[in-house]
Amino acid sequence: MDVLSEIINSSGLKGYMITRDTFFRNWGYKFPCNQSFGFHIITRGNCYIRYKKKIEKLEKGDIVFISRGFDHELVSSTNQKALDIKSLPEEYFKPGKEKEEPIVTLLSIRYEIQEMIHPFFFELPDIIIVKENNIPSHHPIHSALVLISNEMAIGENSELVLQKLADVLLYYILKFWVDREETGAPGWIKTFKDEKILYALDILHKDLSKDWT
């Protein structure tokens, strides 16, 4: 039984693409996300994430997952001012001269937090940063990132495909973190490490109509 798939499906998550942008100028985005969670994917270049008085550098292939809704910013440099996501002038997204290389390309996905969301999500840390150089070779995350990068290069017609790929990536990001998390505390995270509990859950879900009590 794939417990993680069951958790994601039962939570009724629906994702929305916030932005997919290529920047040619110094830039900064504000993300007011107090009622949602989601992730950012850096497919080209590098930038920084500012959150809760902290700052982390993100590079090509890095993924940052915001597991609990809180305001944060993505910026081109540590001291760059951030603006509302809809407020940046058009010139930020256009090359100033022929064949000018962009500073960064990124994709941002948001998932609305449902009232009955699974308790598993409350056991996650506020933020999970998956560094590209920490992902094992041939891991599915690599394959998903390659497909996402290719789709972003196609243009606006690929929005549906990007959303579906992002949903796949959500699963693998969570699985990547769970597989590496060490915890002795009771809860859903520990469930993934206990074969006896997984076996019991599998039997239970195969016959939900049975009175197991």
**Rounded mean pLDDT of 54-65?**
95
How many residues are given for the chain? 213
CATH of residue 162's domain is: 2.60.120.10
* Containing structural domain, residue 143: 14-180
- Is residue 100 classed as helix, strand or coil in its secondary structure? coil
**Rounded mean pLDDT of 48-66?**
94
1 inside domain: no
pLDDT digits (tens, 9 = 90+) for 22-50: 888 888 999 877 667 888 999 999 999 99
Closest alpha carbon to 120 in 176, 68, 44, 62: 68
Q: What is the pLDDT of residue 55?
A: 95
- CA torsion, points 155, 87, 113, 52, in degrees to nearest 10? 120
Q: What is the bridge-based pairing of β-strands 63-66 and 36-51?
A: antiparallel
36 close to 101: Cβ distance less than 8 angstroms: no
- CA torsion, points 37, 43, 44, 48, in degrees to nearest 10? 20
Tell me the C-alpha distance between 27 and 154, whole Å.
23
109 inside domain: yes
pLDDT digits (tens, 9 = 90+) for 168-197: 999 999 999 888 877 666 677 777 666 666
Is pTM beyond 0.95 here?
no
Q: What is the bridge-based pairing of β-strands 28-31 and 83-84?
A: parallel
51 close to 73: Cβ distance less than 8 angstroms: yes
Residue 82, φ and ψ in degrees, nearest 5: -105, 140
7 inside domain: no
Q: Which of 15-24, 53-62, 150-159 has the lowest mean pLDDT?
A: 150-159
**Rounded mean pLDDT of 83-109?**
75
Q: What is the pLDDT of residue 158?
A: 73
Number of domains in the chain: 1
Tell me the C-alpha distance between 107 and 68, whole Å.
19
30 inside domain: yes
154 inside domain: yes
194 inside domain: no
